[in-house]
Amino acid sequence: MVSTPSVRVEKHNHGGTPPAIVWLRQDLRLADNPALLSACRRGGPVVPVFIWAPEEEGDWPPGSASRWWLHQSLAQLAEDFHAAGTELLIRQGSSLAELLSVAKATVADAVVWNRRYEPASIARDRKVEAALRAAGLHTEECNAALLYEPWTIQNKAGRPFQVFTPFWRACLASAEPAEPLPAPRRLAAPPQKPTSLPLATLELEPKRDWAAGLRAAWHPGSAGAQAELRRFLQEGLLTYADGRNRPDLVGTSRLSPHLHFGEISPRQVWHAVRLFAESQSIPAAVWRNWQFLTELGWREFAHHLLSHFPRTPEQPLRSSFARFPWRKNPAWLRAWQRGQTGYPLVDAGMRELWSTGWMHNRVRMVVASFLVKNLLVPWQEGARWFWDTLVDADLANNTLGWQWTAGCGADAAPFFRIFNPVSQGEKFDPKGSYVRRWVPELARLPDAWIHQPWQAPPAMLTAAGVELGRTYPRPLVSHLISREVALEAYRGITL
């Protein structure tokens, strides 16, 4: 809940333009930050403020991995603002109360921010905006997170899209995304310096240090985002259509957490791809249809759906799935969470997630399919686990991904599309390199058995030091049998 205290901010004319507050949330960058640039255009001091208010996030406050990332990103952002001439304020508590407090302390006359699209955030922002205006402050809301606002893309009937291909076709037929805005070279600090909390006060980092794998895998912040983008443009973009499916290779951009926290904008990514393509003399008709930009399109589609169907984080879009006979099996769920299912590709993915806060997208589909279709565990359980363990946990993307896999969302995979973890491993991890990295107890198995150790000859298992049921679990379920059980359950809700 957002309280609305009866406060009116007093304005004092000291002969200059009053300061403007920039309320930062998931836009932790200086370049291509429309709210920051809007504040700069007012001509006075700029007061950037981040307010830690997880209780205002509804049922989806940031998970453990997201909190770790946020701490690192805010630390980097504070350095960037300091270098530009002002200081990032850190506050904690009610967003409205803290914004009014900062406005009073700095004699600011405006608060600007970039839009968020989660249902709880939308409701909070509307209340905050009304209260700020009632207090005599100018407000402005900008778009820093998407190429296309959700309400600007509609089908011919004027309704939201529920199928990706026509949605993205409509996006590409719209105006080209605007050029990204430059970072301000210099920011004026307010004459009155308000109080700010030490970042450590927010207690975003874990008290028991389990984040060593995250630190080794990531460099949060806008500089890290730009470095990841440069790496991908030079090493992965031209081979992305095939490389994106190979968890044993570094074939993806790894930009998802940077995009979620707003350390880089989709416009920056879009135009970086454009400039790269132009440097290679690749025509626009070709590069605009590259698979990588299509993946940006899926991110747009996820936010489009969340904006128009705000109940989908908890409820299936296809109402018939409310009757699906899901199973409550805490032991199976725990085995899946810990990478102990007996299916090497599934276990490798879940262990990569636990160690690094991230998982390859192809493997995400496989592990999600296994949970909801082989084990019949509700997709909401998987969504909650991903929410807590992914550094790129994003409500729109998380919801779309899980509903797509479960077959209950927009443009969903047909329910009968049940990924076979063995064949998926053999196709996309043909040498077993990915499994060997994350499931080292199987490392000595030959390629032929690495994805199905239960089929290996006993002598082969012994030679590899594998004892099923002791050093590595037997499969929780038979893929073939559990597939038939799932299909029968699906037929029961469609008759």
Distance CA 94, CA 101 (A): 10
Helix (H) or strand (E) holding 124: helix 119-134
Its pTM stands at 0.95
Q: Which two tokens stand for residue 465?
A: 């030091």
| Beta-carbon count within 10 A of 155 CB | 13
**Is the pLDDT reported for residue 10 higher than 80?**
no
pLDDT for the residue numbered 15 = 53
CA–CA dist 34, 138 (Å, integer): 16
Are residues 62 and 386 in contact, defined by beta-carbon separation less than 8 angstroms?
Answer: no
Residues 188, 177: Cα–Cα separation, whole Å? 30
pLDDT value at 492 more than 60: yes
SS3 per residue for 163-230: CHHHHHHHHHHCCCCCCCCCCCCCCCCCCCCCCCCCHHHHCCCCCCCCCHHHHHHCCCCHHHHHHHHH
Please give the domain boundaries of the chain with CATH numbers for all domains.
20-144 (3.40.50.620), 146-179+221-308 (1.25.40.80), 319-494 (1.10.579.10)
Is there a contact between 42 and 20 (Cβ–Cβ < 8 Å)?
yes
**The one-letter amino acid at 200:** A
Q: Which residues are catalytic?
A: 295, 298, 326, 361, 379, 402
Q: What is the average per-residue pLDDT within 57-77?
A: 97
366-405 residue pLDDT tens: 999 999 999 999 999 999 999 999 999 999 999 999 999 9
On whether the CB atoms of residues 382 and 402 are closer than 8 A, the answer is yes
The pLDDT mean for the chain works out to: 95
In degrees rounded to 5, what are phi and psi of residue 253?
-80, -25
Cβ(465)–Cβ(444) under 8 Å? yes
In angstroms, the CA 360 to CA 425 distance is 13
Give the C-alpha separation, 32 to 30, whole Å: 7
Interval 81-110: pLDDT, tens: 999 999 999 999 999 999 999 999 999 999
Residue 414's pLDDT band (cuts 50, 70, 90): confident
Q: Tell me the pLDDT band of 495, cut-offs 50, 70 and 90.
A: low
177, 270 Cβ separation under 8 angstroms = yes
